Structure 1
Amino acid sequence: MTTISLAVIVKNEQRHIAACLESVKPIVDEMVVVDTGSTDRTKEIAASMGAIVSDFPWSDDFAAARNAAIERTKGDWILVLDADERLIADYGAVLRDFISGGQRIGRITIKSRFVQNGEEQIVQSAISRIFPRHVRFQGAIHEQLISELPRIDSGIVAFHEGYYETDKSERNLRILEKELQRRPDDAYLLFHIGKQYRGSGELSKAEQYFERAYGLLSRVASQSGHSHGSSVATYASDAVIDYLYVLLETKNFEQALNVIGNEQAQLQELADFHFVCGLIYMELAICFPQDSGELLPLIEHSYLQALAAGEAGRGREIVQGTGSYLAAYNLGVYYELLGNREAARSYYQMAVSAQYEPALKRLEVLK
């Protein structure tokens, strides 16, 4: 019978490790936990739940630690999770069905909470985490599986607490900057450094790194004749969306409009693109009310396009709700400001059907 091993690397994760292992234990044949220097009860808790626990000296290299964990497993297939992630359901049948499909790599959807403008939201990413045991990681940080095997969505979803509760930006930036010295024209590294600076509120620095990453990605896409959604750089659409949010936050509207113009054709399928365009046009209308006559149709069109992308099931959502309740809510706000209470109520009701509480409050006001 084909066997499956969980491989986890940890350091001071006593708050999360039990939930992680408990969510996986019924569906794997063994759980291997490699500790990189905990000073709390992480190892004790993991061992008490039946995990095989061992040590590995930390060397600022995530791939090295992950590969060490894989080496210590016995399974035919590997499932990788972080200690602060947990599966949201029993995926035993789903996992077995996936590995029965032959040699391939499985992506799982990671949902992470974050706070924006005082409101908690969910960001989603598809990450390769299920693979045959011969596959290995590469990269000191934001490590990637090195393999030509096809990458397929597995249908498995995990919830990630870490970004919401902890700040690991100092450690991450140290490793990223070190890697960037070796590979100064690596758009992937520049993108992640930009994300770290954005997360810590250093928007000017974030913008500089995103600008460099975007320039490199645009050059690669132009030279190869591929769109950003191609295998040339599968993360590129995420980089464009994050760059637009930073340009919105720094109010660099001129560059934001340039990027929108450049990317409109490539990112038509992505609800997040239309959603952030709507936010940019709304902010422009607030800052430059004399231009609102031109901007209002663009605001409406952007959110309608976001809803259309979501309803058609095209592409994916990076931020949960951009193709559904968040776009519907913003359309409600748009129509309410224009005095069209009937249309506003209709879109607020659409958002309420997804249990989006701010929409319910607006509906009560419009009664």
Structure 2
Amino acid sequence: MGKRLSLIMIVKNEAVLLQRCLESAAKYVNEIVIVDTGSTDHTKEIALAFNATVYDYGWNNDFSAARNFALDRSTSDWNLVLDADEFISNDCAEAIRDFIENKEAIGKIKRVDKFSGPDGINYEQIYISRLFPSSCRYSGKIHEQIISDLPRVIIDVEIQHDGYFHQSKNERNIPILLEVIKENPLDPYFHFQIAKEYRGLERQEEALAHLKIAYTNMTHQESYAPSIIVNLIYAIIATGQLGEGIQIIDRELEFLNEYPDFFFVSALYLLELISSDPEQYGGLVSLIEKYYKKALEIGDNGREGSVLGTGSYATLHNLGVFYEVTGRMVEAKDCYAQAAEMNYPPSIERLAGMQ
């Protein structure tokens, strides 16, 4: 017979996205449990069309409570948790079945987050605990975590996530995060999370303030520590408060020696710093090329929180721009050509303009 697997979701007004999610996941599970926190659209009808069991739940600003309510209604040995703005993008039937039949662990799946950046659409990859035995439950009002002593194992399941394009969710999350921060004023995780919400709303000063607190209070042992540092440098650039950036970069060079994103953003920062005061900082120009080359040397290595392209096409393009501005046209064209071969639109356009 084999072990049973349930898909567990909490939803509200997800009629636009829910079908895509359920179509991607239904074939892998024995049961679909959906908890609705107050939909006024056709969310429930879509869920019922997939033979889901649907429960109503009064929303109380506590994601763990809602998720645990859903988990309590699962009748399976294992649970897979997805949100409506996510969908499975690889063929993972064998990986899931092998894991739940043979492992006593929590499965971490790769999520690729799509978001808008200064250079267009970007994709960031993280690994999240979403496949686990039925005994596991969540803790935390927001950005909730599975509480368990079981080992966490990365499995070959990949989901795409485009919820960061739906900014209303950012507005919803901020009051909950502020409440949690009041209870845990020095916890770097929640300051990091609220900074991401503020960044999504382009409230850069507030994002920077919380990233500074997160950076000051982190231990460097956190899985998200590299992302705090990288996001802090981006926030420093976005606000124009360039003063502390150079010390942060120097301090973290060794710690982030294998993170292409760090060298990518460090090069961007140096460009801003030099432009702000060429006389004082002009001597740092050579570091821009050095950092971009270091990012390419590392490559897109799939590290937690890494943005796709910072070890390849995005860096090649930026290095091309650097060479072009400094009059090294042969090297510029070579960089653009390499990025164009990876179908990077800005490089394809730039090459066409140089013919």
2: CA distance, partners of 1:50 / 1:353? 45
Aligned counterpart, 2:199: 198
Residues 271 and 316 in structure 1, CA contact (< 8 A), matched pair in contact too: no
After TM superposition, the structure 1 = structure 2 runs for residues 153-172 of structure 1, keeping only pairs within 5 Å, are 153-172=154-173
| 8 Å Cα contact 1:169/1:196 also seen in 2 | yes
Bigger mean CA offset, 75-84 vs 161-170: 161-170
CA–CA distance in 2 between the matches of 1:354 and 1:103?
40
> In structure 1, what is the equivalent of residue 150 of structure 2?
149
What is the CA deviation profile of residues 312-352 of structure 1, one whole-angstrom value per residue up to 9, with x for unaligned ones?
A: x3735621111111111111111111222221122112211
Q: Is structure 2 residue 257 aligned with structure 1 residue 268?
A: yes
Letter in 1 for 2:145: Q
Any unmatched runs of 5+ in structure 1? 222-227
Equivalence for 2:285? 296
* Cα distance, 1:293 vs structure 2: 4.2
* Structure 2 partner of 1:78: 79
2:3 maps to what in 1? 2
How many pairs were matched up? 354
**3-state SS of the aligned residue for 1:315?**
coil
SS of corresponding position for 2:64:
helix
C-alpha distance after superposition, 1:119-171 (max 9, x if no partner): 12222221111111111111000111111222122121111121113322221
Instruction: Tell me if 1:253 matches 2:242.
Output: yes
* Partner amino acid, structure 2, of 1:309: I
1:60 aligns with 2:61: yes
The structural deviation recorded for 1:100 is 3.6
Question: What is the correspondence of 1:274-285 to structure 2 with a 5 Å cutoff?
Answer: 274-285=263-274
Change (3 A) 1:293 1:166: closer
Aligned letter for 1:339? G
Shift in Å at residue 250 of structure 1? 1.2
Residue 362, structure 1, aligned to residue 347, structure 2: no
After TM superposition, give the deviation of residue 257 of structure 1 in Å. Answer: 1.2
User: 2:11 touches 2:37 (CA, 8 Å); kept in 1?
Assistant: yes
- What percentage of aligned pairs have identical amino acids? 40
**Does the Cα contact within 8 Å between 1:23 and 1:90 map onto a contact in 2?**
no
How far is 1:246 from its partner? 0.3
**8 Å contact 1:114–1:120 — kept in the other structure?**
yes
- Tell whether the 8 Å contact from 1:270 to 1:316 is kept in structure 2 after alignment: no
* Deviation per residue, 1:22-77 (Å, 9 max, x gap): 00011111111111111111011101112111112111000111111111112211
Decide whether the 8 Å contact of 1:270 with 1:314 is kept in 2.
no
Give the structure 2 partner of residue 225 of structure 1: none
Partner Cα distance (1:146, 1:248) in 2:
36
Of residues 310, 313, 317, the one that matches 1:325 is 313
Structure 1 residue runs of 4 or more that deviate by more than 4 Å after TM superposition = none
Paired residue type of 2:66 = A
**How far, CA to CA, are the matches of 2:311 and 2:63 in structure 1?**
34
For 2:250, give the aligned amino acid: G
**Cα pair 2:223 2:304 within 8 Å, conserved:** no
Secondary structure of residue in 2 paired with 1:168: helix
Q: CA RMSD in A?
A: 1.6
Distance 1:92 1:259 in 2: 44
* Corresponding letter in the other structure for 1:197: Y
Which of 333, 336, 346 is the aligned partner of 2:324?
336
Unaligned segments of structure 2, at least 5 residues: none
State the match for 1:307 in structure 2. 296
TM-score (norm 2): 0.95
